Amino acid sequence: MSLRVVGAGCGRTGTASLKFALERLLHAPCYHMIEVFQHPDHSAIWRRAALGEETDWDALFAGYAAAVDWPASAFWPELMRAYPGALVLLSLRDAEDWWGSASQTIFPSIQSHPAPPEWKAMIADMFRTRWGADLNDREASIAAYNAHNARVLNTVPKERLLVWRTGEGWEPICEALGLPVPSEPFPRSNTREEFRARAKAYAEQAGEKTT
């Protein structure tokens, strides 16, 4: 199976909802950061990719029809080249809203919650080589977010690019993929409250394993 959708949007731009939506549309799994936790050996692969080593994308994405969210979205140029027939989906939200969400969910979780050493090393190298901004620095992070999106918009051929904003639902995605619009509501997943609850549960589980 080859990727049909390469997600280029940063985390906290509706990527969890997109994961479930794309799985519904493509009838196959969609890669997301959740997959890295479910496949701990993937952390080393992503870390090597962040350090510039060649990656066997077909092996990593075997069985997946799409990829969204970090870490995959940090490697959209490589994935766009590896899968020339794939749609590049840039999920967007207002930069201030994005910072408000990321600074209350992903960023503090990265820095404070327990996680396997391999995952932490992968995250550190990915953000160092692909992001380049202090996660505690609002201005720098917003600048990195805007620069990331501008690069996608200025690089991806228009015929391959779908810009999708949270709240737009099924229609733009289905039109770009040539698929019918499902009758059920568009998924809404991983709200700030859900993220915090999941992070807390993970921290408690990790604490139990070390006692």
Pairing of strands 66-67, 5-7: parallel
| Chain position carrying tokens 């994935």 | 79
Q: What is the DSSP string of 64-122?
A: -SEE-STTGGGGHHHHHHH-TTSEEEEEE--HHHHHHHHTTTHHHHHHHS---HHHHHH
Quick one: pLDDT at residue 55?
Answer: 97
The full set of domains in the chain, from first to last, is: 5-209 (3.40.50.300)
Quick one: pLDDT at residue 208?
Answer: 45
Quick one: pLDDT at residue 190?
Answer: 52
Per-residue confidence of the chain (211 residues) as pLDDT tens digits? Answer: 799 999 999 999 999 999 999 999 999 999 999 999 999 999 999 999 999 999 999 999 999 999 999 999 999 999 999 999 999 999 999 999 999 999 999 999 888 877 889 999 999 999 999 999 999 999 999 999 999 999 999 999 999 999 999 899 999 999 999 999 999 999 997 554 555 454 444 444 444 443 4
Backbone angles phi, psi at 193, to 5 degrees: -65, -40
Quick one: pLDDT at residue 204?
Answer: 45
The total number of residues shown for the chain amounts to: 211
What's the whole-model pTM score? Answer: 0.89
